[in-house]
């Protein structure tokens, strides 16, 4: 855990974005609120495959789609536009670290982070192999109390590294 927090702290001090990810619908509000609390990003409902590995391509597609949707704004393309989550694209760069609070439910972003050597902290339960994340954190990814604890811990740590420059 300490090595993962050290990598996360280095990313925060450089101003790199950290993404909080959990694609389990039941935990979405927990993850979103903690990411918002520390001023970072969250992915909780939809994952576009290749979002991290091909971020520039997905970002450009989103910008083109946004221009088309706003130029011909009707109820039909309003529903299509809602499929894309604008919080993915608040910065034009991919994440420099990810915190995945349920590796079991969020395998695609975990795999992309690992392929790109992005530090990835992830809560792993007994039903998940620990080699799929760079820093496995043992915990019950189905327990709301565990998710709240780890998300709060990581959010507080990100805040302390970004704004207070506290060493670990």
Taken in order of first residue, the domains within the chain and their CATH numbers are: 1-45+94-163 (3.40.50.10490), 53-93 (no CATH)
Asked if 90 contacts 66 with a C-beta cutoff of 8 angstroms, the reply is no
Summarised one tens digit per residue, pLDDT across range 74-129 is 555 555 555 554 444 455 567 888 999 888 888 888 888 888 888 889 998 888 87
Is residue 70 over pLDDT 70? no
Q: What is the pLDDT of residue 87?
A: 46
Pairwise pLDDT comparison (84 vs 23), residue with the higher score: 23
Q: Please state, in angstroms and rounded to a whole number, the distance separating the CA atoms of residues 18 and 107.
A: 17
Write the DSSP symbol of residue 8: H
Provide mean pLDDT across the span 2-14.
Answer: 84
How do strand 97-100 and strand 135-138 relate by DSSP bridges?
Answer: unpaired
Half-sphere exposure of 76 (CA within 13 A, CB side): 2
Close Cβ partners of 102 (under 8 Å, ≥ 6 residues apart): 22, 23, 24, 27, 123, 141, 142, 147
Provide mean pLDDT across the span 128-139.
Answer: 85
Summarised one tens digit per residue, pLDDT across range 32-42 is 899 889 888 88
Report the chain's mean pLDDT, rounded to a whole number.
79
Provide mean pLDDT across the span 133-152.
Answer: 90
Dihedral of CA 116/51/14/122: which sign? Answer: negative
Q: What percent of the chain has pLDDT over 70?
A: 77
């Amino acid at each position: 855990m300490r090595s993962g927090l050290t990598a996360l702290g280095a990313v925060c001090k450089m101003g790199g974005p950290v993404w909080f990810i959990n694609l389990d619908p039941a935990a979405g509000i927990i993850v979103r609120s903690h990411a918002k609390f520390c001023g970072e990003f969250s992915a909780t409902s939809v994952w576009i495959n290749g979002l991290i590995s091909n971020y520039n391509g997905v970002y450009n597609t989103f910008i083109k789609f946004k221009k088309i949707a706003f130029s011909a704004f009707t109820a039909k393309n309003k529903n299509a536009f809602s499929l894309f989550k604008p919080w993915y694209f608040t910065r034009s760069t991919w994440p420099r670290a990810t915190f995945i609070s349920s590796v079991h439910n969020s395998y695609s972003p975990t795999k992309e982070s690992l392929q790109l050597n992005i530090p990835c902290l992830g809560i792993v339960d007994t039903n998940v192999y620990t080699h799929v994340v760079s820093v496995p954190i043992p915990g019950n990814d189905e327990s709301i109390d565990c998710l709240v604890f780890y998300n709060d811990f990581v959010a507080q740590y990100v805040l302390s590294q970004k704004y207070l420059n506290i060493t670990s």
